[in-house]
């Protein structure tokens, strides 16, 4: 065990359900081990503005079920500059903070890695992003809840699609990652799923929609926002041009995918990762990310997590989409 006495925790970048259970685990595990735990408000902006407060066991009471993050989050351009990093370091130093836990995505990790290298301050990253697009963890915090939210919406749209015999295009989050689209599509029985990782030609999509052995009267197509054919509106327009008889509607789910009470999976994952991050700091680890690999918690180099792109789409799910939609 190292001689660290005081640590800070922050959430940064895009918020994700499960951040609160994770903060709770960091605070309580830290206090259990005799550490002082400081909460930093609004991510790296709070480090620079010295917007931090001492936390205790009760600071994190009754937050397990809350979406968002009690520490707030922000995007902070100043942290990309040397002067911002310097201010952040001075504030940490003045408060006697000897280790930092950051919960966020790859941007957050990039900042943390750089900061830790320049100022030699131990840092552990926790993957918190609904996109599930980080190397080193099978699942990121918030992905499961966001997927469940999409499935719930999809079920409701299915009712109205069926009642009116319509073709719906539903756009979900995922600029570079089709993870939400694929899982939600399989769970909600989508007729087709358009993913940034895979090219789909419009004529191929139309062929698939027509190819059911017993012709379907309603269909749902999930479009990840990063799909190369464009957004759901563009694709819907192209399909309508090819098949004017289709009654086509579009729904963009947008930011509602970020909110809501974290699922039990994300609560447990957040708790495991927060607990593991504190233990990693105490064990003298730095510039590592804690992640879930095959249902065990493992450490990966932050640098590797930032620079490596992992193909996260399950091949069997990709194969089954068209088959289960016949
Ligand atoms: P996410 O962590 O969800 O990927 P962002 O990409 O917005 O979200 O990154 C969150 C924050 O991390 C940024 O607002 C910025 O403060 C910090 N950050 C990102 N890239 C760098 C960098 N190259 N150097 C320092 N800080 C960075």
Distance, in Å, from the CA atom of 294 to the CA atom of 81, rounded to the nearest integer, reads: 38
CATH code reported for the domain at 6-142+262-307: 3.40.50.450
The response to whether residue 127 sits with its C-beta less than 6 Å from ligand 1 reads no
Residue 213 pLDDT: 59
Please tell me the CATH superfamily of domain 144-258, with its number: Phosphofructokinase domain (3.40.50.460)
Classified as helix, coil or strand, 88 is: helix
Intervals of CATH 3.40.50.460 along the chain: 144-258
* Residue with CA closest to ligand 1 atom 11: 108
* DSSP code of residue 142: T
The response to whether residue 258 sits with its C-beta less than 6 Å from ligand 1 reads no
Residue with the two structure tokens 């499960």? 18
Q: What is the mean pLDDT of each run of 10 residues along the chain (326 residues)?
A: 87 97 98 98 98 98 98 97 98 98 97 98 98 96 98 97 95 95 97 92 84 77 91 94 91 97 98 98 98 98 95 95 91
Residue 212 pLDDT: 64
* Residue with CA closest to ligand 1 atom 19: 107
Q: Please report the sign of the dihedral spanned by the C-alpha atoms of residue 126, residue 305, residue 144, residue 131.
A: positive
The Cα-based distances of 190 to 23, 138, 165, 292 in angstroms read 35, 23, 15, 28
Run of H or E residues at 118: helix 106-119
Residue 18 pLDDT: 98
Q: Please report the sign of the dihedral spanned by the C-alpha atoms of residue 261, residue 265, residue 271, residue 277.
A: negative
Neighbours of 83 (CB within 10 A): 10
Joined together, the tokens standing for residue 290 give 């804690």
Beta partners for residue 128, in sequence order: 141
The Cα-based distances of 202 to 36, 63, 75, 105, 228 in angstroms read 57, 45, 36, 32, 11
* DSSP code of residue 175: S
Q: Which residue, 50, 25, 19, 46, is CA-closest to 37?
A: 25
Helical axes 232-242 vs 202-210, angle rounded to 10°: 70
The response to whether residue 108 sits with its C-beta less than 6 Å from ligand 1 reads yes
Rama region for 18: left / alpha / beta (φ>0; ψ in -120 to 50; rest): left
**Residue pair 252/101 in contact by the 8 Å Cβ criterion:** no
Q: How far is CA 87 from the centre of its chain?
A: 28
The response to whether residue 42 sits with its C-beta less than 6 Å from ligand 1 reads no
Return the ligand 1 atom nearest residue 44 CA. Answer: 16
Residue 271 pLDDT: 98
Distance, in Å, from the CA atom of 247 to the CA atom of 168, rounded to the nearest integer, reads: 8
Distance, in Å, from the CA atom of 97 to the CA atom of 36, rounded to the nearest integer, reads: 9
For a substitution probing ligand 1, which of 12, 102, 103, 175 has the most ligand atoms within 8 Å of its CB? 12
Ligand 1 centroid distance, CA of 115 (Å): 11
* DSSP code of residue 231: -
The residues, any chain, with a CB within 8 Å of residue 91's CB and separated by 6 or more, are 47, 48, 50, 52
The response to whether residue 277 sits with its C-beta less than 6 Å from ligand 1 reads no
Q: What is the rounded end-to-end Cα distance, in angstroms, of the chain?
A: 58
Intervals of CATH 3.40.50.450 along the chain: 6-142+262-307
């Amino acid at each position: 065990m190292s001689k660290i006495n005081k640590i800070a925790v922050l959430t940064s970048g895009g918020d994700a359900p499960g951040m609160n259970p994770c903060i709770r685990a960091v605070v309580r595990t830290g206090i259990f081990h005799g550490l002082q735990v400081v909460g930093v408000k609004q991510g790296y902006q709070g480090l620079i503005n010295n917007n931090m407060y001492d936390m205790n066991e009760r600071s994190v009471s009754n937050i397990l079920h809350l979406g968002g993050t009690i520490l707030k989050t922000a995007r902070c351009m100043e942290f990309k500059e040397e002067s911002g990093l310097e201010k952040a370091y001075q504030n940490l130093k003045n408060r006697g903070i000897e280790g930092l836990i950051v919960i966020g995505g790859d941007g957050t990790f990039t900042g943390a890695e750089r900061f830790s290298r320049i100022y030699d301050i131990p840092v552990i990253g926790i993957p918190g992003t609904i996109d599930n697009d980080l190397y080193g963890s099978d699942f990121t915090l918030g992905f499961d809840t966001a997927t469940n939210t999409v499935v719930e919406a999809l079920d409701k749209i299915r009712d109205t699609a069926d009642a009116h015999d319509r073709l719906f295009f539903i756009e979900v989050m995922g600029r570079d990652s089709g993870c939400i689209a694929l899982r939600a599509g399989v769970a909600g029985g989508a007729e087709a799923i358009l993913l940034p990782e895979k090219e789909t030609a419009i004529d191929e999509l139309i062929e698939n929609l027509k190819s059911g052995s017993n012709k379907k009267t309603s269909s749902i197509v999930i479009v990840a926002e990063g799909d190369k054919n464009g957004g759901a509106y563009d694709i819907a327009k192209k399909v309508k041009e090819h098949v004017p008889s289709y009654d086509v509607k579009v729904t963009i789910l947008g930011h509602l995918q970020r909110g809501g009470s974290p699922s039990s999976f994300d609560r447990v994952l957040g708790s495991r990762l927060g607990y593991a991050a504190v233990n990693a700091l105490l064990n003298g680890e730095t510039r590592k990310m804690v992640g879930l690999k095959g249902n065990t918690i493992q450490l990966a180099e932050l640098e590797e997590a930032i620079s490596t792109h992992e193909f996260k789409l399950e091949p069997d799910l990709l194969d089954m989409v068209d088959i289960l939609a016949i």
